[in-house]
Amino acid sequence: MKILLANPRGFCAGVDRAIEIVERALSLHGKPVYVRNEVVHNKFVVNNLKAKGAIFVKEINEVPEQQVVIFSAHGVSQLVRMQADDIGATIYDATCPLVTKVHKEVARKQRQNHQVILIGHKGHPEVEGTLGQSNDGQQVVLVENSADVEQLTIDKNSDISYTTQTTLSVDDTQHIVNHLKDKFPHIRSPKKDDICYATQNRQDAVKTLMQSADVLLVLGSRNSSNSNRLREIAEKMNLPAYLIDGADEIKSDWIKDANIVGVTAGASAPEILVQEVVNYLYDHGADELQEVSGTKEDVHFPVPEELR
């Protein structure tokens, strides 16, 4: 059995920054610090930060007054920001800068009186945060698929713009965008593609990997959007793919007939989990490993100045 490792894989710059913000806040303030929602969608990372003193909460009303509050990499609504201010919290914003870019774009388009359409997955924290950037009663409209586009009743002659969740399937999103442009020929696109560089690079890497591999193992948690998209790429190629939190979740039946096993990791999964999977595969018949070349990433997002 041969192992093919996708490149790039694992942590992106936004995830690196978010984890560093929590760790530096703990170092500066001591424990506990409160994090609204999982700082990134990975069970291993979250449990590691819990052990260091981070407390993860769903809502700000779970936080005592005048504590340290950190917003997750997925971003938050304007309401959540106000709630944190109201309890006198010391706030550190771990929102990925690429998500912040989307928030600013929504606010800018609304100031120009555009109806903003968001392509994304209902209920995902990033989508909830972006929808929560609405101001002056202007609502951002969410569409998840082409069927949602067909049901839109917006005046075609009005000013309309669209934006997207940053962790979507590039191909699926383009399909929805095409439908939007067919229905609203004058719709405005974002200045730059809102699907982040890391999401696109990891999807491209899996497409390359699965030209050779028989099966794909994706390191990532069930609630990780970008990790799920990696699994779906292989499935759309009619190849088996499995989303796992670690090597202990691998079932031997998945790989027993495989000559080549592809391995990748979502943008919030650490490399240590990849290496554990590699070790598992070596223990179960693998005798060769190859790193597949891919796009080199050198993006770095600095932490807030007050934590440096």
Catalytically active residues, by annotation: 126
Residue of 83, 96, 156 whose CA lies nearest to 126: 96
- Residue 69 near residue 84, CB atoms below 8 Å: yes
At 169, the amino acid letter reads S
Residue of 143, 193, 148 whose CA lies nearest to 171: 193
- The CA dihedral of 125, 22, 266, 133, to the nearest 10 degrees, is 30
Q: Can you spell out the DSSP letters for 25-38?
A: HHHHH-S-EEEES-
Rounded Cα distance between 120 and 286, Å, is 39
- Residue 297 near residue 201, CB atoms below 8 Å: yes
Helices (H), 70-213: 78-86, 97-111, 125-131, 146-150, 170-183, 197-209
Rounded Cα distance between 282 and 3, Å, is 9
Number of other CB atoms surrounding residue 171 within 10 Å: 13
Token pair 């598992």 in the structure block, residue: 280
Sequence-distant (≥ 6) Cβ neighbours of residue 15 within 8 angstroms: 40, 73, 96, 267, 268
